[in-house]
Amino acid sequence: MSYNSTSNTETPKEKKIQQRNSIVIENVPNTKIANFETAISVAGIGKFQYLLIIGIIPISWGSSIDTANMSMILTSAECDLGLSLFDKGLLNAITYVGMMLSGFMWGYLADVKGRKKIILYGYLADGICNIFAGFSQNFETLVFFKFLSGFIVSGPYAALLAYCSEFYDDKGRAKIPLIVGFSVSFGYVVNAVFAWLVIPQPWSIVFGDGVFVYNSWRIYLSICGLPMLIGAACLCFFPESPKFLMTQGRKKDALKVFREIYSINTGLSKDNYPVSTHTHTYTHIWYIYEMCSKKKVTFYFSRKIFIYSSISILSPSK
């Protein structure tokens, strides 16, 4: 059954209204303009969200591994690199210095460029930095790569929580900080397991009569980059946040994401998702409709487009 038609009392001006962050639900007796919360609720929670959580587990370990792996190698690296007490303290602190210096920049980029891009490219770069840190042959090179790793990982770590939360409705969203937080904390366990398995081994690769040495603690540092690379590869299969797409006015792209979530969660065709979108463009007027005793009250404000993300506008009841 189709419910695309609206009330006969609708005026031509009403048809021109565009809510930038809204889409239209069609499976209710009266057409309703849906905000993000309504659209994601219709898409449901199911296999898509479970796969997403599984996919982000490896990259969620990134910040934990980056901040803890230096403490695992200090005893071994002290002999190989001739580290002083100050050098060891600097190696432990330099990752946090990079995080602090980059925090403001990453927050801006995540809101402008998108959550997925920041997470994907950020953790990919962080994984590469960890691998290169394992090839360091002196103290200065190791400090550089650890600083760069901290500078990079601050952004995707902060965007990860927002990205995951925006695939849940308001009821399920409260669980995300708990799930992601647990996974991040478990990263310290993973880091310790890697160190326990690798560092005590007598592995060593030597080139050029000791010019290049790749021994067990360096191999451990390179292995620390693998979870980020694996997680970035998993993230390639997931879409951009629909919330971000709607705030950018890309309603058609957001609708494709909602349909994909709906199809995976329900096993039904994407065409069965009961939401469509308008393409009208209308500027400088902000319309708010309220139903008061079955009477419609209209307010006009000569302002820029109101970015609509938190209310639903109902058509008049018959």
Q: How far is residue 290's CA from residue 294's CA, in Å, rounded to a whole number?
A: 9
Better pLDDT: 265 or 296: 265
Q: What is the pLDDT of residues 275-306, one digit of tens each?
A: 775 433 322 222 222 332 333 333 333 333 33
Average pLDDT in the 13-37 region?
50
Is 121 in the same domain as 269?
A: no
Better pLDDT: 154 or 317: 154
Q: How far is residue 116's CA from residue 232's CA, in Å, rounded to a whole number?
A: 10
Q: How many domains does the chain have?
A: 2
Q: How far is residue 119's CA from residue 101's CA, in Å, rounded to a whole number?
A: 18
Q: What is the pLDDT of residues 132-189, one digit of tens each?
A: 999 999 999 999 999 999 999 888 888 888 899 999 988 888 888 899 989 999 999 9
pTM over 0.85: no
Is 162 in the same domain as 269?
A: no
Per the DSSP assignment, residues forming a β-bridge with 314 are 32
Backbone φ and ψ of 300, nearest 5°: -120, 130
Is 77 in the same domain as 115?
A: yes
The predicted pLDDT at position 194 comes to 94
DSSP codes of every residue in 78-102: HHHHT--HHHHHHHHHHHHHHHHHH
The predicted pLDDT at position 210 comes to 76
Q: Is residue 2 part of a domain?
A: no
The predicted pLDDT at position 130 comes to 93
List for the chain the helix, strand, coil content (%; round to 5): 60, 10, 30
Q: Which domain holds residue 242?
A: 47-247
Angle at 8 between CA 3 and CA 9, to 5 degrees: 130
Q: Which two tokens stand for residue 315?
A: 């058509």
